[in-house]
Structure 1
Amino acid sequence: MTDPLSGSFGTETVSPEERRALIRRVFVEVAPRYDVMNDLMSFGIHRLWKRQFAALAAPKRGETVVDLAGGTGDVARLMAGSGARVVVVDPSTAMMCAGRRPDDALEFVAGEGERLPFGAGTIDCLTISFGIRNVTHLGEALTEIHRVLKPGGRFLCLEFSRPHAIIRPFYQAWSSTAIPALGAAIAGSPSAYRYLIESIRRFPDQPAFAHLIEQAGFAEVRWINLSFGIAAIHIATKRNA
Protein backbone atom coordinates (compact mmCIF):
# COMPACT_ATOMS: atom_id res chain seq x y z
CA MET A 1 0.00 0.00 0.00
CA THR A 2 1.43 3.38 -1.02
CA ASP A 3 1.48 5.73 1.92
CA PRO A 4 0.01 9.12 0.94
CA LEU A 5 1.68 10.82 3.89
CA SER A 6 5.26 9.96 2.93
CA GLY A 7 7.57 12.19 0.90
CA SER A 8 8.17 15.90 1.04
CA PHE A 9 6.83 18.65 3.28
CA GLY A 10 7.00 22.08 1.75
CA THR A 11 10.28 22.23 -0.11
CA GLU A 12 11.96 19.61 2.08
CA THR A 13 12.00 15.89 1.41
CA VAL A 14 11.97 13.86 4.61
CA SER A 15 12.36 10.18 5.41
CA PRO A 16 9.74 8.39 7.55
CA GLU A 17 12.02 8.56 10.59
CA GLU A 18 12.72 12.26 10.04
CA ARG A 19 8.99 12.85 9.73
CA ARG A 20 8.39 10.89 12.94
CA ALA A 21 10.93 13.06 14.80
CA LEU A 22 9.40 16.22 13.31
CA ILE A 23 5.92 15.26 14.51
CA ARG A 24 7.17 14.50 18.02
CA ARG A 25 8.91 17.88 18.16
CA VAL A 26 5.82 19.69 16.90
CA PHE A 27 3.63 18.32 19.67
CA VAL A 28 6.16 19.09 22.39
CA GLU A 29 6.12 22.71 21.16
CA VAL A 30 2.35 23.10 20.93
CA ALA A 31 1.24 21.03 23.95
CA PRO A 32 0.78 23.88 26.48
CA ARG A 33 -1.54 25.86 24.16
CA TYR A 34 -2.98 23.08 22.03
CA ASP A 35 -6.61 23.26 23.18
CA VAL A 36 -6.63 27.07 23.11
CA MET A 37 -5.27 27.04 19.56
CA ASN A 38 -7.93 24.57 18.46
CA ASP A 39 -10.61 26.93 19.75
CA LEU A 40 -9.11 29.88 17.89
CA MET A 41 -8.44 28.01 14.64
CA SER A 42 -11.96 26.59 14.40
CA PHE A 43 -13.90 29.35 16.22
CA GLY A 44 -14.79 26.68 18.77
CA ILE A 45 -16.56 24.48 16.19
CA HIS A 46 -14.16 21.59 16.88
CA ARG A 47 -15.94 21.10 20.22
CA LEU A 48 -19.25 20.50 18.42
CA TRP A 49 -17.56 18.09 16.02
CA LYS A 50 -16.03 16.17 18.92
CA ARG A 51 -19.31 15.91 20.78
CA GLN A 52 -20.97 14.45 17.69
CA PHE A 53 -18.01 12.13 17.24
CA ALA A 54 -18.18 10.83 20.82
CA ALA A 55 -21.95 10.30 20.50
CA LEU A 56 -21.43 8.23 17.35
CA ALA A 57 -18.82 6.10 19.13
CA ALA A 58 -21.58 5.22 21.61
CA PRO A 59 -19.39 3.53 24.24
CA LYS A 60 -21.20 1.09 26.50
CA ARG A 61 -20.69 0.03 30.11
CA GLY A 62 -18.12 -2.72 30.34
CA GLU A 63 -16.47 -1.94 26.99
CA THR A 64 -12.83 -1.00 26.52
CA VAL A 65 -12.48 2.10 24.36
CA VAL A 66 -9.12 3.40 23.12
CA ASP A 67 -8.79 7.03 22.09
CA LEU A 68 -5.67 6.94 19.95
CA ALA A 69 -3.66 10.17 19.62
CA GLY A 70 -5.92 11.30 22.45
CA GLY A 71 -3.48 13.96 23.62
CA THR A 72 -5.00 16.06 26.38
CA GLY A 73 -7.97 13.71 26.78
CA ASP A 74 -10.73 16.08 25.66
CA VAL A 75 -12.49 13.50 23.46
CA ALA A 76 -11.89 10.66 25.91
CA ARG A 77 -13.62 12.65 28.66
CA LEU A 78 -16.72 12.93 26.50
CA MET A 79 -16.88 9.12 26.52
CA ALA A 80 -15.81 8.49 30.11
CA GLY A 81 -19.26 8.92 31.64
CA SER A 82 -20.59 5.91 29.74
CA GLY A 83 -19.22 3.36 32.19
CA ALA A 84 -16.72 2.13 29.62
CA ARG A 85 -13.04 1.82 30.39
CA VAL A 86 -11.49 4.66 28.35
CA VAL A 87 -7.77 4.62 27.59
CA VAL A 88 -5.92 7.54 26.03
CA VAL A 89 -2.99 6.40 23.89
CA ASP A 90 -0.59 9.01 22.54
CA PRO A 91 3.11 9.05 21.60
CA SER A 92 3.51 12.53 23.13
CA THR A 93 3.91 12.44 26.89
CA ALA A 94 3.98 16.25 26.79
CA MET A 95 0.45 16.33 25.38
CA MET A 96 -0.84 13.84 27.94
CA CYS A 97 0.83 15.68 30.83
CA ALA A 98 -0.74 18.95 29.63
CA GLY A 99 -4.20 17.42 29.82
CA ARG A 100 -4.01 15.08 32.81
CA ARG A 101 -6.22 15.98 35.79
CA PRO A 102 -5.89 14.81 39.40
CA ASP A 103 -9.42 13.37 39.45
CA ASP A 104 -9.22 11.68 36.02
CA ALA A 105 -10.98 8.38 35.52
CA LEU A 106 -9.08 8.08 32.25
CA GLU A 107 -6.04 5.89 31.72
CA PHE A 108 -3.08 7.41 29.87
CA VAL A 109 -0.66 5.15 28.01
CA ALA A 110 2.26 6.11 25.76
CA GLY A 111 2.07 4.39 22.39
CA GLU A 112 2.11 4.83 18.63
CA GLY A 113 -0.53 3.96 16.06
CA GLU A 114 1.77 1.50 14.29
CA ARG A 115 2.58 -0.39 17.52
CA LEU A 116 -0.40 -0.37 19.85
CA PRO A 117 0.20 -1.78 23.36
CA PHE A 118 -2.78 -4.17 23.26
CA GLY A 119 -3.36 -7.77 22.36
CA ALA A 120 -5.18 -8.85 19.22
CA GLY A 121 -8.96 -8.70 19.47
CA THR A 122 -9.08 -6.98 22.87
CA ILE A 123 -10.63 -3.56 22.14
CA ASP A 124 -14.34 -2.87 21.60
CA CYS A 125 -14.03 0.58 20.04
CA LEU A 126 -11.08 2.66 18.85
CA THR A 127 -11.42 6.36 18.14
CA ILE A 128 -8.93 8.87 16.79
CA SER A 129 -9.57 12.58 16.25
CA PHE A 130 -7.23 14.85 14.31
CA GLY A 131 -4.38 12.39 14.78
CA ILE A 132 -4.41 9.85 11.96
CA ARG A 133 -2.67 12.25 9.60
CA ASN A 134 0.26 12.45 12.03
CA VAL A 135 1.15 8.75 12.07
CA THR A 136 4.39 7.86 10.33
CA HIS A 137 2.90 5.03 8.23
CA LEU A 138 -0.83 5.38 7.59
CA GLY A 139 -1.37 1.89 6.16
CA GLU A 140 0.48 0.23 9.04
CA ALA A 141 -1.54 2.20 11.59
CA LEU A 142 -4.86 1.18 10.02
CA THR A 143 -3.77 -2.47 9.96
CA GLU A 144 -2.72 -2.26 13.61
CA ILE A 145 -6.04 -0.68 14.59
CA HIS A 146 -7.82 -3.55 12.82
CA ARG A 147 -5.64 -6.07 14.71
CA VAL A 148 -6.50 -4.86 18.21
CA LEU A 149 -10.26 -4.54 17.65
CA LYS A 150 -12.57 -7.39 18.55
CA PRO A 151 -14.69 -8.91 15.76
CA GLY A 152 -17.56 -6.48 15.36
CA GLY A 153 -15.45 -3.74 16.96
CA ARG A 154 -15.94 -0.14 15.90
CA PHE A 155 -13.41 2.25 14.37
CA LEU A 156 -14.20 5.97 14.20
CA CYS A 157 -11.89 8.65 12.83
CA LEU A 158 -12.50 12.40 12.94
CA GLU A 159 -10.11 14.25 10.66
CA PHE A 160 -9.81 17.36 8.53
CA SER A 161 -10.81 16.51 5.00
CA ARG A 162 -11.65 18.04 1.60
CA PRO A 163 -14.18 20.90 1.91
CA HIS A 164 -16.89 21.57 -0.64
CA ALA A 165 -15.67 23.47 -3.72
CA ILE A 166 -17.76 26.52 -2.83
CA ILE A 167 -15.88 27.21 0.40
CA ARG A 168 -12.52 25.63 -0.51
CA PRO A 169 -10.74 28.86 -1.61
CA PHE A 170 -11.73 30.70 1.58
CA TYR A 171 -10.74 27.75 3.76
CA GLN A 172 -7.36 27.40 2.05
CA ALA A 173 -6.65 31.11 2.43
CA TRP A 174 -7.52 31.00 6.14
CA SER A 175 -5.48 27.89 6.84
CA SER A 176 -2.38 29.00 4.93
CA THR A 177 -2.14 32.51 6.39
CA ALA A 178 -4.15 33.00 9.56
CA ILE A 179 -3.38 29.72 11.30
CA PRO A 180 0.45 30.03 11.18
CA ALA A 181 0.06 33.64 12.38
CA LEU A 182 -2.04 32.45 15.31
CA GLY A 183 0.54 29.76 15.97
CA ALA A 184 3.22 32.43 16.24
CA ALA A 185 1.17 34.77 18.42
CA ILE A 186 -0.48 32.28 20.80
CA ALA A 187 1.65 29.15 20.81
CA GLY A 188 4.99 30.75 19.86
CA SER A 189 5.49 28.16 17.13
CA PRO A 190 4.58 29.23 13.57
CA SER A 191 6.67 26.43 12.05
CA ALA A 192 4.72 23.79 13.99
CA TYR A 193 1.43 25.08 12.68
CA ARG A 194 2.79 25.33 9.15
CA TYR A 195 3.56 21.61 9.45
CA LEU A 196 0.04 20.89 10.74
CA ILE A 197 -1.53 22.76 7.80
CA GLU A 198 0.71 20.92 5.35
CA SER A 199 -0.32 17.60 6.88
CA ILE A 200 -3.99 18.53 6.34
CA ARG A 201 -3.30 19.43 2.72
CA ARG A 202 -1.61 16.09 2.06
CA PHE A 203 -4.24 13.93 3.74
CA PRO A 204 -6.46 11.82 1.43
CA ASP A 205 -9.95 13.10 0.67
CA GLN A 206 -13.06 11.34 1.94
CA PRO A 207 -13.39 8.58 -0.71
CA ALA A 208 -9.63 7.93 -0.85
CA PHE A 209 -9.37 7.55 2.92
CA ALA A 210 -12.43 5.27 2.96
CA HIS A 211 -10.67 3.08 0.40
CA LEU A 212 -7.56 2.85 2.60
CA ILE A 213 -9.73 1.79 5.55
CA GLU A 214 -11.29 -0.94 3.39
CA GLN A 215 -7.82 -2.10 2.30
CA ALA A 216 -6.94 -2.59 5.97
CA GLY A 217 -9.76 -5.16 6.23
CA PHE A 218 -12.67 -3.09 7.57
CA ALA A 219 -16.30 -3.42 6.50
CA GLU A 220 -19.29 -1.06 6.46
CA VAL A 221 -17.03 1.92 5.77
CA ARG A 222 -18.84 5.24 5.52
CA TRP A 223 -18.30 8.89 6.34
CA ILE A 224 -20.21 11.92 7.57
CA ASN A 225 -19.13 15.38 6.40
CA LEU A 226 -18.97 18.18 8.97
CA SER A 227 -19.13 21.89 8.14
CA PHE A 228 -19.27 21.35 4.37
CA GLY A 229 -16.50 18.77 4.45
CA ILE A 230 -13.89 20.79 6.34
CA ALA A 231 -13.82 17.74 8.60
CA ALA A 232 -15.28 14.27 8.24
CA ILE A 233 -16.05 11.35 10.52
CA HIS A 234 -15.19 7.97 8.99
CA ILE A 235 -16.87 4.95 10.59
CA ALA A 236 -16.04 1.29 10.01
CA THR A 237 -16.49 -2.13 11.60
CA LYS A 238 -14.18 -5.11 11.94
CA ARG A 239 -15.84 -8.12 10.34
CA ASN A 240 -17.04 -10.89 12.61
CA ALA A 241 -14.84 -13.95 12.42
Structure 2
Amino acid sequence: MRRVFDSVAEKYDLMNDLMSLGIHRLWKRQAIAKLKLQPGDHCLDLAGGTGDLAILMHKKMEGQGRVTLCDINLSMLKQGRKRLTDEGMVSSIDWVCGNAEKLPFPDNSFQAATIGFGIRNVTRIQRALDEMQRVVKPGGQVLVLEFSKVAIPFLRPIYDTYSFNLLPEIGQIVTKDRDSYQYLVESIRQFPDQETFKEMMESAGLYRVRYDNLSAGIAAIHVGFKV
Protein backbone atom coordinates (compact mmCIF):
# COMPACT_ATOMS: atom_id res chain seq x y z
CA MET A 1 0.00 0.00 0.00
CA ARG A 2 2.84 2.40 0.79
CA ARG A 3 4.34 1.68 -2.64
CA VAL A 4 1.04 2.45 -4.36
CA PHE A 5 0.66 5.85 -2.73
CA ASP A 6 4.36 6.69 -2.92
CA SER A 7 3.96 6.22 -6.66
CA VAL A 8 0.86 8.40 -7.09
CA ALA A 9 1.33 11.07 -4.38
CA GLU A 10 2.55 13.89 -6.62
CA LYS A 11 -0.28 13.44 -9.13
CA TYR A 12 -2.94 12.36 -6.59
CA ASP A 13 -5.14 15.47 -6.83
CA LEU A 14 -4.90 15.62 -10.61
CA MET A 15 -5.85 11.95 -10.92
CA ASN A 16 -8.83 12.41 -8.61
CA ASP A 17 -10.09 15.22 -10.84
CA LEU A 18 -9.57 13.18 -14.00
CA MET A 19 -11.08 9.94 -12.66
CA SER A 20 -14.23 11.56 -11.27
CA LEU A 21 -14.48 14.46 -13.73
CA GLY A 22 -14.13 16.71 -10.69
CA ILE A 23 -17.22 15.30 -8.97
CA HIS A 24 -15.18 14.10 -5.97
CA ARG A 25 -14.99 17.72 -4.82
CA LEU A 26 -18.78 17.95 -4.66
CA TRP A 27 -18.96 14.61 -2.83
CA LYS A 28 -16.50 15.86 -0.22
CA ARG A 29 -18.43 19.08 0.34
CA GLN A 30 -21.63 17.09 0.78
CA ALA A 31 -19.91 14.83 3.29
CA ILE A 32 -18.49 17.58 5.49
CA ALA A 33 -21.85 19.40 5.40
CA LYS A 34 -23.20 16.50 7.49
CA LEU A 35 -20.81 17.13 10.38
CA LYS A 36 -22.09 19.08 13.38
CA LEU A 37 -19.02 21.20 14.01
CA GLN A 38 -18.56 24.42 15.94
CA PRO A 39 -15.69 26.93 16.16
CA GLY A 40 -13.06 25.59 18.53
CA ASP A 41 -13.71 21.90 17.82
CA HIS A 42 -10.88 19.46 17.18
CA CYS A 43 -11.38 16.93 14.38
CA LEU A 44 -9.45 13.97 13.03
CA ASP A 45 -9.09 13.21 9.34
CA LEU A 46 -7.68 9.74 8.66
CA ALA A 47 -5.96 8.88 5.39
CA GLY A 48 -6.04 12.64 5.05
CA GLY A 49 -3.85 12.66 1.97
CA THR A 50 -3.48 16.09 0.44
CA GLY A 51 -5.95 17.74 2.79
CA ASP A 52 -9.28 18.08 0.96
CA LEU A 53 -11.44 17.14 3.96
CA ALA A 54 -9.20 18.99 6.41
CA ILE A 55 -9.66 22.21 4.44
CA LEU A 56 -13.44 21.79 4.39
CA MET A 57 -13.61 21.02 8.12
CA HIS A 58 -11.45 24.02 8.91
CA LYS A 59 -13.83 26.25 6.94
CA LYS A 60 -16.88 24.73 8.64
CA MET A 61 -15.33 25.64 12.01
CA GLU A 62 -14.98 29.21 10.70
CA GLY A 63 -11.20 28.93 10.83
CA GLN A 64 -11.28 28.62 14.64
CA GLY A 65 -10.76 24.89 15.15
CA ARG A 66 -8.00 22.33 14.72
CA VAL A 67 -7.73 19.35 12.42
CA THR A 68 -5.36 16.48 13.01
CA LEU A 69 -4.50 15.01 9.62
CA CYS A 70 -3.31 11.42 10.01
CA ASP A 71 -1.97 9.27 7.19
CA ILE A 72 0.17 6.13 7.14
CA ASN A 73 2.01 7.35 4.05
CA LEU A 74 4.73 9.97 4.47
CA SER A 75 4.68 10.91 0.79
CA MET A 76 1.01 11.85 1.02
CA LEU A 77 1.60 13.81 4.24
CA LYS A 78 4.38 15.77 2.54
CA GLN A 79 2.10 16.66 -0.37
CA GLY A 80 -0.68 17.69 2.01
CA ARG A 81 1.63 19.82 4.14
CA LYS A 82 2.97 21.57 1.05
CA ARG A 83 -0.53 22.29 -0.22
CA LEU A 84 -1.90 23.58 3.10
CA THR A 85 1.19 25.71 3.65
CA ASP A 86 0.50 27.35 0.30
CA GLU A 87 -3.08 28.00 1.44
CA GLY A 88 -1.94 29.55 4.73
CA MET A 89 -3.54 26.86 6.89
CA VAL A 90 -0.55 24.95 8.20
CA SER A 91 -0.77 26.50 11.70
CA SER A 92 -4.26 25.01 12.19
CA ILE A 93 -3.29 21.47 11.20
CA ASP A 94 -1.49 18.79 13.19
CA TRP A 95 0.36 16.23 11.08
CA VAL A 96 0.63 12.65 12.28
CA CYS A 97 2.00 9.58 10.51
CA GLY A 98 -0.13 6.80 11.95
CA ASN A 99 -1.97 3.56 11.32
CA ALA A 100 -5.78 3.68 11.26
CA GLU A 101 -5.88 0.26 12.94
CA LYS A 102 -3.94 1.54 15.98
CA LEU A 103 -4.43 5.26 16.35
CA PRO A 104 -1.89 7.11 18.51
CA PHE A 105 -4.55 9.20 20.29
CA PRO A 106 -6.30 8.92 23.68
CA ASP A 107 -9.95 7.96 24.03
CA ASN A 108 -12.53 10.71 23.51
CA SER A 109 -10.15 13.15 21.83
CA PHE A 110 -12.07 14.51 18.84
CA GLN A 111 -15.46 15.96 18.03
CA ALA A 112 -15.47 14.10 14.73
CA ALA A 113 -13.37 11.54 12.90
CA THR A 114 -13.50 11.28 9.11
CA ILE A 115 -11.95 9.16 6.42
CA GLY A 116 -12.45 9.91 2.73
CA PHE A 117 -11.71 7.29 0.10
CA GLY A 118 -9.22 5.58 2.39
CA ILE A 119 -10.90 2.94 4.48
CA ARG A 120 -11.07 0.41 1.66
CA ASN A 121 -7.26 0.41 1.71
CA VAL A 122 -7.12 -0.57 5.39
CA THR A 123 -6.27 -4.22 5.96
CA ARG A 124 -8.67 -4.69 8.89
CA ILE A 125 -11.56 -2.32 8.28
CA GLN A 126 -13.50 -3.28 11.40
CA ARG A 127 -10.51 -2.50 13.60
CA ALA A 128 -10.19 0.95 12.00
CA LEU A 129 -13.87 1.64 12.68
CA ASP A 130 -13.41 0.51 16.28
CA GLU A 131 -10.50 2.93 16.61
CA MET A 132 -12.42 5.83 15.10
CA GLN A 133 -15.24 5.21 17.56
CA ARG A 134 -12.76 5.05 20.44
CA VAL A 135 -11.11 8.40 19.78
CA VAL A 136 -14.33 10.34 19.20
CA LYS A 137 -15.97 12.11 22.14
CA PRO A 138 -19.43 10.99 23.34
CA GLY A 139 -21.97 12.61 21.06
CA GLY A 140 -19.35 13.02 18.33
CA GLN A 141 -19.53 11.72 14.78
CA VAL A 142 -17.70 9.18 12.67
CA LEU A 143 -17.98 9.86 8.94
CA VAL A 144 -16.83 7.63 6.11
CA LEU A 145 -16.88 8.74 2.48
CA GLU A 146 -16.09 5.86 0.17
CA PHE A 147 -16.79 4.32 -3.20
CA SER A 148 -19.71 1.92 -2.94
CA LYS A 149 -22.09 -0.21 -5.01
CA VAL A 150 -23.97 1.33 -7.93
CA ALA A 151 -27.65 1.25 -7.01
CA ILE A 152 -29.09 1.36 -10.55
CA PRO A 153 -28.58 -2.01 -12.30
CA PHE A 154 -28.37 -0.78 -15.90
CA LEU A 155 -25.53 1.61 -14.95
CA ARG A 156 -23.31 -1.13 -13.54
CA PRO A 157 -21.88 -2.49 -16.81
CA ILE A 158 -21.19 1.05 -18.02
CA TYR A 159 -19.41 1.88 -14.78
CA ASP A 160 -17.44 -1.38 -14.88
CA THR A 161 -16.29 -0.71 -18.43
CA TYR A 162 -15.15 2.78 -17.48
CA SER A 163 -13.44 1.59 -14.30
CA PHE A 164 -11.57 -1.45 -15.55
CA ASN A 165 -10.70 -0.28 -19.05
CA LEU A 166 -10.27 3.49 -18.91
CA LEU A 167 -9.06 4.38 -15.41
CA PRO A 168 -5.88 2.24 -15.46
CA GLU A 169 -5.00 3.75 -18.84
CA ILE A 170 -5.42 7.27 -17.45
CA GLY A 171 -3.16 6.23 -14.59
CA GLN A 172 -0.54 5.02 -17.04
CA ILE A 173 -0.62 8.23 -19.06
CA VAL A 174 -0.56 10.63 -16.10
CA THR A 175 1.55 8.80 -13.48
CA LYS A 176 3.28 6.11 -15.59
CA ASP A 177 1.83 3.57 -13.13
CA ARG A 178 -1.01 1.48 -14.55
CA ASP A 179 -0.74 -1.22 -11.87
CA SER A 180 -1.51 1.10 -8.95
CA TYR A 181 -4.74 2.28 -10.55
CA GLN A 182 -5.67 -1.25 -11.52
CA TYR A 183 -5.35 -2.11 -7.83
CA LEU A 184 -7.44 0.90 -6.81
CA VAL A 185 -10.25 -0.15 -9.16
CA GLU A 186 -10.19 -3.72 -7.84
CA SER A 187 -10.25 -2.49 -4.23
CA ILE A 188 -13.45 -0.56 -4.96
CA ARG A 189 -15.18 -3.70 -6.22
CA GLN A 190 -14.15 -5.65 -3.12
CA PHE A 191 -15.48 -3.06 -0.68
CA PRO A 192 -18.69 -3.93 1.24
CA ASP A 193 -22.00 -2.62 -0.06
CA GLN A 194 -23.88 0.16 1.70
CA GLU A 195 -25.98 -1.98 4.05
CA THR A 196 -23.08 -4.25 5.00
CA PHE A 197 -20.87 -1.29 5.81
CA LYS A 198 -23.66 0.29 7.86
CA GLU A 199 -23.77 -2.91 9.94
CA MET A 200 -19.99 -2.75 10.39
CA MET A 201 -20.25 0.77 11.78
CA GLU A 202 -22.98 -0.35 14.15
CA SER A 203 -20.75 -3.24 15.25
CA ALA A 204 -18.13 -0.65 16.18
CA GLY A 205 -20.57 0.78 18.73
CA LEU A 206 -21.92 3.65 16.67
CA TYR A 207 -25.61 4.49 16.68
CA ARG A 208 -28.02 6.36 14.39
CA VAL A 209 -25.90 5.16 11.49
CA ARG A 210 -27.24 6.19 8.13
CA TYR A 211 -25.91 6.52 4.62
CA ASP A 212 -26.60 8.64 1.58
CA ASN A 213 -25.76 7.49 -1.92
CA LEU A 214 -23.89 9.85 -4.20
CA SER A 215 -24.16 9.69 -8.00
CA ALA A 216 -26.40 6.62 -7.96
CA GLY A 217 -24.24 4.83 -5.39
CA ILE A 218 -20.87 5.24 -7.08
CA ALA A 219 -19.92 6.66 -3.67
CA ALA A 220 -21.70 6.83 -0.34
CA ILE A 221 -21.49 8.85 2.86
CA HIS A 222 -21.92 6.85 6.07
CA VAL A 223 -22.33 8.75 9.36
CA GLY A 224 -22.74 7.44 12.90
CA PHE A 225 -22.70 8.89 16.41
CA LYS A 226 -20.89 7.79 19.55
CA VAL A 227 -23.02 7.30 22.63
Tell me whether the two structures share a fold, i.e. TM-score over 0.5: yes
Letter in 2 for 1:74: D
SS in 1 for 2:49: coil
> 1:162 aligned to 140, 146, 149, which one?
149
Taking only aligned residues, the RMSD between alpha carbons, in angstroms, comes to 1.0
Correspondence for 2:3:
25
**What TM-score, normalized by structure 1, do the two folds share?**
0.88
Gaps of 5+ in 1: 1-22
Question: In 1, distance between residues paired with 2:129 and 2:225?
Answer: 12
Q: Which runs of 4+ in 1 moved over 6 A?
A: none
Deviation readout 1:6-26 (Å, 9 max, x if unpaired): xxxxxxxxxxxxxxxxx1110
Correspondence for 1:190:
178
8 Å CA contact 1:53, 1:158 repeated in 2: yes
**What TM-score, normalized by structure 2, do the two folds share?**
0.93
Q: 1:1-241 maps to which residues of 2 (within 5 A)?
A: 23-81=1-59, 82=61, 83-101=64-82, 102=85, 103=88, 104=90, 105-164=92-151, 165-239=153-227
Shift of 1:65: 0.4
Shift of 1:59: 2.3
Gaps of 5+ in 2: none
Shift of 1:108: 1.4
Question: In 2, distance between residues paired with 1:74 and 1:211?
Answer: 27
Deviation readout 1:10-50 (Å, 9 max, x if unpaired): xxxxxxxxxxxxx1110000100001000000000000001
Question: In 2, distance between residues paired with 1:111 and 1:139?
Answer: 17
Letter in 2 for 1:45: I
Deviation readout 1:117-152 (Å, 9 max, x if unpaired): 110111110011000101111111111111111111
Deviation readout 1:182-219 (Å, 9 max, x if unpaired): 01000111100011111100000000000111111110
Letter in 2 for 1:36: L
Residue identity (%): 48
